[in-house]
Amino acid sequence: MQTLWFILVAFMLIMYVVLDGFDLGAGAIHLFAAHNNQERRTILRSIGPVWDGNEVWLIATGGTLFFTFPILYASSFSGFYLPLIVVLWLLMLRGVAIELRSRIASRMWGEFWDVVFFFGSALLAVFFGAAAGNVVRGVPLDKQGNFFEPFWTNPLDPRAALPGILDWYTVLIGLLALAALTAHGANWIAVKSEGDLNLRSRVIARWAWVATIVLTAAGTIATFAIQPAMGKSYTTRPWGFIFPLIAIAGLAGMGYFNWRKQDLRAFLSSAAYLVGMLASSAFGIYPNVLPAVNPANSLTIYNASASQYALTVGLIWWSIGIILALIYFFIVYRRFYGKVSVAEHGEGY
């Protein structure tokens, strides 16, 4: 039951990264991809109807994590107190920027929110990557399962007894996340746009792809060096190599379809890459959910989970809820399928 929930929570988190990932990526590049107000609004319109729903996956993941692994939720949220609150502020600023930018037709107003949207999106991508880096690297859990990490302690030594949120390893993973989401977002804009904007997005996607390859290689080597449990998972359960293979296939597809100018396939490839990378990480730390610097204190799916009864009851209503959610998403994405055009009417983003 715990293993099943580990998979389901990982599934929700991956859904979140793949979905919100493209609108974060779109925000991170919109200053460079769009050269005029019309193109800016095209980008905003392409994510406008869906960003809020995408972000709900984060909230729903948080809620599901809370009821399936309450001890993990309590420990990690209080331990990552500072970065989480900063993430909250960034999410707020970014959401407000998307929603308010086009409500007042003023150049200054638009410029201000464009910059907020850019910083909010780019920093969130880096922070999410760094958070993933922290989870893989391990945190200084005490015997009661508590810890508190400051932003940094000794950034040059990820193996310190009391590491901080940011060190060279977690920043490296943060940059990897930024590159990958940039490529993902650029692919999305390419799918949803035409003309110059479409061409520029494709160029950005290509450069981001190159950066992603380099950083993926560096990140992978660093990860196996820093977290030995990672390698052990793969040697004891070799079938897990399927996940890195998905990531590599996605990475190859991103480049190939970009070159062939097949935007939708390139977008699906970057989605596959993200799925592969996240699944590889989740597979690598299992059965831990939060590795500790001192491995004896690690939180695992067994010592951090809710009671069997709560997990069982939860599975019933969760299944119903998630099926309904997928139906809504299908309806909404189908309604807003296709290229975006701003000229047709003035309402909205």
- Interface with other proteins (CB under 8 A), residue from 75, 134, 233, 281: 75
CA distance 305 to 64: 11
- Interface with other proteins (CB under 8 A), residue from 50, 160, 229, 315: 50
Q: How far is CA 100 from CA 33, 44, 56, 111, in A?
A: 20, 11, 19, 12
71 in contact with other proteins (CB under 8 A): yes
Contact window for other proteins (CB under 8 A) among 21-29, 204-212, 280-288, 320-328? 320-328
Q: Which of residues 143-182 bind other proteins (CB under 8 A)?
A: 144-148
46 in contact with other proteins (CB under 8 A): no
Here the tokens at position 105 are 């037709």
Q: Which of residues 188-217 bind other proteins (CB under 8 A)?
A: none
- Interface with other proteins (CB under 8 A), residue from 6, 73, 257, 283: 73
Is the CB of 77 or the CB of 302 nearer to other proteins? 77
Q: How far is the CB of 59 from other proteins (least distance, A)?
A: 5
Q: Which of residues 297-316 bind other proteins (CB under 8 A)?
A: 306-307, 309-310, 313-314
Is the CB of 64 or the CB of 269 nearer to other proteins? 64
105 in contact with other proteins (CB under 8 A): yes
CA angle, corner 114, sides to 92 and 19, nearest 5? 55
96 in contact with other proteins (CB under 8 A): yes
Contact window for other proteins (CB under 8 A) among 16-24, 179-187, 199-207, 339-347? 339-347
- Interface with other proteins (CB under 8 A), residue from 3, 38, 78, 294: 78
Contact window for other proteins (CB under 8 A) among 26-34, 68-76, 159-167, 228-236? 68-76
Contact window for other proteins (CB under 8 A) among 80-88, 124-132, 212-220, 287-295? 80-88
- Interface with other proteins (CB under 8 A), residue from 35, 36, 38, 103: 103
